[in-house]
Chains A and B, each alone.
Chain A
Amino acid sequence: MQLRPALVYVRTMAVFVAVWWLVSAWTANTVLLPSPRVVFEALVDLARDLELFQHAGISLGRMIVSLVVACALALPLGFAMGLRRGFDEVVDPTLELLRPISGIAWIPLALFIFGVGNALPVFIMTYAAFFPILLGTVAGVRGVDRRLVDAARTMGVPRRTIVMRVVLPSALPALLVALRLGVASSWTAVIAAELIGAPSGLGYAVEWYRELLMTPQVMSFIAMIGVLGYACDRTVRAVAQRFTPWAADEWAR
């Protein structure tokens, strides 16, 4: 029973590859739709001369930097907004005005300010990750079970200790969900930002090879984007599972 899902997965992907192969043989145009074998060979080449991993590493590095900055900004702000109604009322409208403007829309202005380079993707990605993390933090802090806070109060625990020792651990599952969303958001932004305004990274590589009409390479990098996106999501989930085992049902999807 345990093996069945894995086998079904392999079978489904095999069917997918088979259909792909047939269609590519029928169109017989390597630029339009290269066969799976050609793509695989390109992938192996790129991996062998490390180009695949260099770009991947650069994109990942940018994402990690952006997440750190976004968390450093969003977590304290989120806690302040979640804990103090007055603060929330002052700050929230401004944030709600900015939020609908997606990170992507900032690219032209950011290009003007930063130019093409490393700073642009990091700025866009930080902005993209900031809002999901902030919103999730506020929701997590507000969603802390009142009873737990009351229980601590009846034990005479002082307010600051309650924030550190009750609110924070209570909100941790929600914070990790917010982090997952931030990761997804910033990983999407990295591609757009690099495609338009960076001299390196996976988004840049995809565009570079498209201009050269080297579709197998384009597809290889796209696959890498998918694999890394999946791996990052899984990593955050694993961290959540390890550190918040009691909130398992929040991780069903």
Chain B
Amino acid sequence: MSDGTGRIARGLALPVALLVVWQAWGVASASPRTPVPTHIVRAAIDLIGSGDLPLAIAQSLGRVFAGFAVAAVIAIPLGLAMGASRAVERNVDPVVESFRPIAAIAILPLAILWLGTGTPAAVLIVAYAAFFPIVVNTVAGAKRISPTLLRAAATMGLSRFATMRTVIVPGALPAIGVGLRIGMGVAWTAIVAAELAVGAKAGGGGSGGIGAMMFIFYAYSIELNRIVVCMIAVGLVALVLDRGLRAMMRRLMPWSAP
């Protein structure tokens, strides 16, 4: 009871101390553009109030969800097939493993070449990024199904398809959940990176999204406080996405640990 509040106090001590030191350093340098906590808060209020920040986040999130959905729709069935059938795995795995070390952001120039600097390229990048964690974890989940369970299903006379539906899919769900969580995190990072890169190359403004907005604040208006607000927003959205997915997983699969 008292130890709990003691723990919270200890946990807050360091961030609060750092904030105070930071604020003091900023006050000493006197320019209103210096990024200090109070200026950052003011910039945040501006950005949220004007609707710029929520709009940018909404744009980015839209792309993330679209790309994520595409990736999941391809990766989950593929992963289950690979996990269930050695033959499928042997034939598909080399391609997957060859492309996995190539980060989504490296594909971005190709995506721009093919689809231009707008949303379709962004969605492609996100889908590519999210695909690999989802497929890898799905395969692992399908493979990890205990052979004894599979044998039990066989002795009960289940067909291959029925086994897939009733044993493999539910059994692999926790691992698929892990893959989706990681995929979401990667997708969010990928969209920020993609928008940043496009913002840097396409002269800014064209693509929208939070990454582009951050770059504009760097290259055009040199608003450091606004950059930091965007950074914090990126972090917060990442947290919310992760926690949200975890809560959804727990609701859907009460039998597994998060």
Contact = CB atoms under 8 A, between A and B. Distances in A.
Does chain A touch chain B in the assembled complex, meaning CB atoms less than 8 Å apart?
Answer: yes
B99 A226 contact: yes
Contact of B235 (A100, A111, A188, A192): A100
Contacts of B222: 112
Contacts of B188: 102
29 contacts: A8-B90, A8-B94, A12-B92, A12-B94, A90-B11, A91-B14, A93-B14, A94-B15, A97-B235, A100-B238, A100-B239, A101-B231, A101-B232, A104-B196, A105-B234, A107-B196, A108-B214, A109-B228, A111-B218, A112-B227, A191-B103, A203-B106, A210-B109, A210-B113, A211-B201, A219-B110, A223-B102, A226-B101, A229-B103
A86 interface: yes
B180 interface: no
A106 B105 contact: no
A11 B93 CA distance: 12
Contact of A191 (B105, B140, B192): B105
B196 A253 contact: no
Interface in B52-90: 90
B7 A13 contact: no
Nearest to B103: A188
B146 to A, nearest CB: 16
B214 A105 contact: yes
A105 to B, nearest CB: 4
B131 interface: no
B59 to A, nearest CB: 16
A92 B11 CA distance: 7
Given A94-B18, A108-B214, A5 B90 contact: yes
A177 interface: no
Interface string B212-245: 0011011000101001101110111011001000
Interface of A: 5, 8-9, 11-13, 16, 31-32, 86, 89-94, 97-102, 104-109, 111-112, 184, 187-188, 191-192, 195-196, 202-203, 206-207, 209-211, 213, 215, 218-219, 222-223, 225-230, 233, 253
Contact of A31 (B97, B107, B113): B113
Contacts of A13: 94-95, 98
Contacts of A102: 188-189, 192, 234, 238
A210 B103 CA distance: 17
A11 B90 CA distance: 10
Contact of B98 (A106, A207, A219, A226): A226
Interface in B100-134: 101-103, 105-110, 112-114
Nearest to B92: A12
Interface residues of B, number: 56
B95 to A, nearest CB: 6
Highest count of chain A CB atoms <10 Å: which of B10, B107, B112:
B10
A114 B189 CA distance: 22
B232 A89 contact: no
Nearest to B232: A101
B200 interface: yes
A99 B14 CA distance: 15
Contacts of A226: 98-99, 101-102, 106
Contact of A89 (B7, B18, B103, B112): B7
B130 to A, nearest CB: 14
Contacts of B110: 210, 215, 218-219, 222
Contacts of A104: 189, 192-193, 196
Contacts of A99: 235
A99 B232 CA distance: 11
B192 A253 contact: no
Nearest to A128: B189
B136 interface: yes
A229 B231 contact: no
Contacts of B234: 100-102, 105
Contact of B193 (A31, A100, A192, A209): A192
Q: 5 shortest A-B CB distances, which residue pairs?
A: A229-B101, A210-B109, A108-B218, A101-B235, A100-B235
Q: Which of A97, A105, A196 has the most CB of B within 10 A?
A: A105
A202 B242 CA distance: 31
Nearest to B228: A109
A89 B10 contact: yes
A12 B91 contact: yes
A32 B242 CA distance: 36
Nearest to B239: A100
B10 A86 contact: yes
Interface in B1-23: 7, 10-15, 18
